[in-house]
Amino acid sequence: MDKTEQVIEIFKRLKEIYTIRIFEGKDPYKVLIRTILSQRTRDENTDQATANLFNKYPDINSVANAPVEDIEELVHPAGFYHVKAARIQEVSQIIIDEYDGVVPDNMKELLDLPGVGRKTANCVLVFAFCKPAIPVDTHVHRISNRWGLVDTSKPEQTELELMKIVPKDMWIELNDIMVQFGQTICKPTSPQCGDCPLIGLCAFDNG
């Protein structure tokens, strides 16, 4: 079985367990800001900070015009709140000034935004625009290496290697299904190998 066949079989098994949560109609701006907030923090912290922010400031104009101290307080749960608050307002103002308030839907222009790297840009492409891309967060990077699909040390390397072996029609679903798997079974520490549906498809040896 080559790696592409391995990927196809893995996803066949995982889709029997997990429901893909991607759907069209998500607000690209909220996806972008949530992904910025998610950097170097846990999912539950990101969810809280995102809810805090958009409950009080529901759109790009209100966020851009809010007192930065208020933004800092709202996004505090996500950590690095001084940096993230400033970055959120900077990005918001640039999108207003240069893109008429509309988040761009292509990699080049997304990467031109300050603080937006490939993971963030790919998240926006997938979750906001349903365009094929591979967002590599900590779950995708860790699990891809555990499965033996890649042998990489950096998420950017993982993305490039996965692009070579994952069929393009699976790219949109990849991050969501791997995140669910990483949160429930293939955890960073003490993975639940005894409950894993991927016996025989994973190179990880839990000892």
pLDDT for 23 equals: 63
* Residue range 67-86: mean pLDDT, rounded: 98
pLDDT for 1 equals: 86
Alpha helices in 15-169 (DSSP H): 28-37, 43-56, 60-65, 68-75, 81-99, 107-112, 118-123, 138-147, 155-165
What Rg, from alpha-carbon coordinates, does the chain have? 18
Q: How far is CA 89 from the centre of its chain?
A: 20
**Distance between CA 140 and CA 153 in Å, rounded?**
12
Q: How confident is the model at residue 20 (pLDDT cuts 50, 70, 90)?
A: confident
In the chain, CATH 1.10.1670.10 covers: 3-20+134-195
Which numeric CATH code is attached to 3-20+134-195? 1.10.1670.10
The counts of H helices and E strands in the chain are 11, 0
Given a cut of 70, whether residue 25 has pLDDT beyond it is no
* Residue range 110-125: mean pLDDT, rounded: 95
- The answer to whether the CB of 18 falls within 8 A of the CB of 181 is yes
- Whole-prediction pTM: 0.91
- The answer to whether the CB of 156 falls within 8 A of the CB of 116 is no
Q: How confident is the model at residue 207 (pLDDT cuts 50, 70, 90)?
A: very low
pLDDT digits (tens, 9 = 90+) for 48-65: 999 999 999 999 999 999
Q: Which CATH number fits domain 28-128: 1.10.340.30, 3.40.50.12280, 1.20.1250.20, 1.10.10.10?
A: 1.10.340.30
Q: How many CA atoms lie within 13 A of 44 on its CB side?
A: 1
In the chain, CATH 1.10.340.30 covers: 28-128
User: Which tokens go with 156?
Assistant: 């950017």
